[in-house]
Amino acid sequence: MDYQNTLKYLYESVPMFQQIGSKAYKPGLETTHKLDEHFGHPHRQFKTIHIAGTNGKGSCSHTIAAVLQCAGYRVGLFTSPHLIDFRERIRINGEMIPEEYVVNFVEEHRAFFEPLHPSFFELTTAMAFRYFADQKVDVAVIEVGMGGRLDCTNIIHPDLCVITNIGLDHTQYLGDTLTKIAKEKAGIIKEGVPVVIGRAQGAVKRVFTMKAKEKNAPIEFAGKVPQHWSMEILPYSRLQEIRTGMDKSIKKAYKIVEETDGLSEEKKNQIRQLLAMLDTVNSIRAIDQILDRRKDAIRILNNMFPSGLFSELSGAYQFENMHTTLKALAALTHLNYNITPRNCLEGFANVCRLTGLMGRWQKVHSYPDIICDTG
C-alpha cells in the first residue's frame, strides 16, 4: 500500500473517535498493554513528560517541546487530533513521521493488531512510541488523548506530569461534574513523579492534592499569575516600538563602556561579554524572530525575564498556558534538565517554526485579518 491507501485503511479499519464518536472509545488499558508488549515496551527507552487537561494541552505541549529543542534535546512530540495530515500527531524536533514509516508499520504489524481490534488512538499511540524509540529521542512530550486514568498514553512513567485545567469535556465518558473529571485526569499522577497543575480551585484542587499525597508525588499549583508578573498582548506595531527602545538602551550601555576612561582593554572585554549575556540581548533576538513573521506577541516581565519573555502565541487565553508552561519548565530544571533562560526565550518566540504547531490564534491573512483558532 502507498501512504494514502494506508491512511484509508486506518480510517476505515480501526475505530476513530473523530469520525464515529462513542463507538470508537475503548476505556481500559488491556489492548494498549498487549500492543506495548508486542512492540517491546518502546516507551521505556526514552524520558517522557505527560500532559493532560481540558484546554491548553496542545499549546503547553508544543511550547515545552520547543524549549527542550532549543536546549539541545532530541524531542518527540505526540499530540492529537491532526488538522490536515495524520503525521502531525507524531513529530521529532518538529519533523513529521515519514510516510514510509507509517506504511511499513501498518504492513508489518497488521497481522498482529487486526485480531485485537484496537482503536485508532491506541494504534497511533503504539506507532508513536515505537517510532520515538527507533529514532532514539532523548525525551518525548506526550499529550493525553481523553481524560487520563484510562487513556492509552497512561502506560508511561514520566519524569513530570502536567494537568493544565479542568472543564466539562466528554462528560459522557469522564463524568458529569468537574470533580469526577478531575479524578479521571488525576489518574496520570504517578508514584513519586512531580506534578504541575494549572488552574484548579475548591473541590477540584482537593482532588489533585489528595491524589498527589496518595502517590507521594510533589505537587505545585500554577494558580493565578503572581503580582510581580506583568503580562500583556503586544500588537505588531507596539512590539516594534519596544524593540527599538531596547536596542537603544543596549547600544547606550556599550557606548558608555567604550568611552569610560581608566578601564583596561581586558576590563572592557569582560564588560562587553557580560552585556552580551544579558537578558536584553536575547530578548531583542526573540523579538526580531517574531517581527520577521509579522506577528503580535505576548510579553511576560518577571524576575527571571526582566527584559521580557516574548511568545508568538498571542491569544489572551495563552496567559494561563504560559504560566503553567513556565512552572513545568522550572520543575524540569529541578529534575536536572539543562534548560536556560535563553532556551525559553528562543523556544517561546519560535514555537510554531520549531514544532509545526498550527491553529492557535494563527493569522493566515492580513487586510482583512483572518484568524484561525482550534478553540
Q: Are residues 209 and 253 in the same domain?
A: no
Domain boundary, last residue among 221, 239, 269: 221
Strand segments, DSSP code E, in 139-268 are: 139-143, 160-163, 195-197, 219-221, 230-234
> Any idea which of 174-178, 328-332, 353-357 has the lowest mean pLDDT?
174-178
Q: Looking at the domain assignment, is residue 34 inside a domain?
A: yes
Predicted TM-score of the model (pTM) = 0.90
Phi, psi of 47 (to 5 degrees): -75, 155
Q: Looking at the domain assignment, is residue 206 inside a domain?
A: yes
With contact defined as beta carbons under 8 Å apart, do 193 and 217 qualify?
Answer: yes
C-alpha cell at 72: 539541545
Domain boundary, last residue among 191, 221, 251: 221
Q: How far apart are CA 38 and CA 77, in angstroms?
A: 22
pLDDT in tens, 248-263: 887 777 777 776 776 7
Q: Are residues 266 and 119 in the same domain?
A: no
Domain that holds residue 76: 3-221
Q: How far apart are CA 196 and CA 331, in angstroms?
A: 8
Q: Are residues 141 and 237 in the same domain?
A: no
> Could you tell me which residues are beta bridge partners of residue 49?
141, 160
Q: Looking at the domain assignment, is residue 324 inside a domain?
A: no
Average pLDDT over residues 82-94: 95
Q: Are residues 48 and 196 in the same domain?
A: yes
Residue 92: pLDDT over 90: yes
Confidence class for position 176, pLDDT limits 50, 70, 90: confident
Q: Looking at the domain assignment, is residue 330 inside a domain?
A: no
Describe the chain by its helix, strand, coil percentages, rounded to 5: 50, 15, 35
Q: How far apart are CA 191 and CA 218, in angstroms?
A: 10
Q: Are residues 176 and 267 in the same domain?
A: no
pLDDT in tens, 106-120: 999 999 999 998 989
The CATH number for 98's domain is 3.40.1190.10
Q: Are residues 128 and 241 in the same domain?
A: no
Q: Are residues 234 and 189 in the same domain?
A: no
Who has greater pLDDT, 224 or 355?
355
Q: Looking at the domain assignment, is residue 11 inside a domain?
A: yes
Confidence class for position 173, pLDDT limits 50, 70, 90: low
> Residue 25 contacts by C-beta under 8 Å, 6 or more apart in sequence?
17, 119, 146, 173
pLDDT of 112: 95
C-alpha radius of gyration, the chain, whole number: 23
> Any idea which of 30-34, 54-58, 217-221, 348-352 has the lowest mean pLDDT?
54-58
Residue 206: pLDDT over 50: yes
Residue 21: pLDDT over 60: no
> Any idea which of 143-152, 173-182, 211-220 has the lowest mean pLDDT?
173-182
Confidence class for position 275, pLDDT limits 50, 70, 90: low
Who has greater pLDDT, 173 or 131?
131
Q: What percent of the chain has pLDDT over 70?
A: 90
Q: Looking at the domain assignment, is residue 87 inside a domain?
A: yes
Who has greater pLDDT, 76 or 277?
76
Q: Looking at the domain assignment, is residue 143 inside a domain?
A: yes
Q: Which of 292, 294, 335, 298 is nearest to 313 (CA)?
A: 298
Q: Are residues 245 and 205 in the same domain?
A: no
Q: Are residues 59 and 81 in the same domain?
A: yes
Q: What percent of the chain has pLDDT over 90?
A: 65
C-alpha cell at 238: 507596539
C-alpha cell at 225: 499569575
Residue 17: pLDDT over 60: no
pLDDT of 58: 93
Give the number of domains in the chain: 2
Domain boundary, last residue among 179, 201, 221: 221
Residue 52: pLDDT over 60: yes
Confidence class for position 129, pLDDT limits 50, 70, 90: very high
pLDDT of 217: 98
End-to-end CA gap in the chain: 35
Q: Are residues 204 and 249 in the same domain?
A: no
Who has greater pLDDT, 184 or 374?
184
Q: Are residues 283 and 307 in the same domain?
A: yes
Q: How far apart are CA 212 and CA 197, in angstroms?
A: 11
With contact defined as beta carbons under 8 Å apart, do 329 and 45 qualify?
Answer: no
Q: Are residues 213 and 234 in the same domain?
A: no
Q: Looking at the domain assignment, is residue 349 inside a domain?
A: yes
Average pLDDT over residues 218-244: 89
Who has greater pLDDT, 135 or 17?
135
Residue 366: pLDDT over 80: no
Q: Which of 54, 58, 61 is nearest to 76 (CA)?
A: 61
Q: How far apart are CA 374 and CA 78, in angstroms?
A: 17
> Could you tell me which residues are beta bridge partners of residue 219?
195
Average pLDDT over residues 160-177: 81
Q: Which of 331, 362, 374, 312 is nearest to 51 (CA)?
A: 331
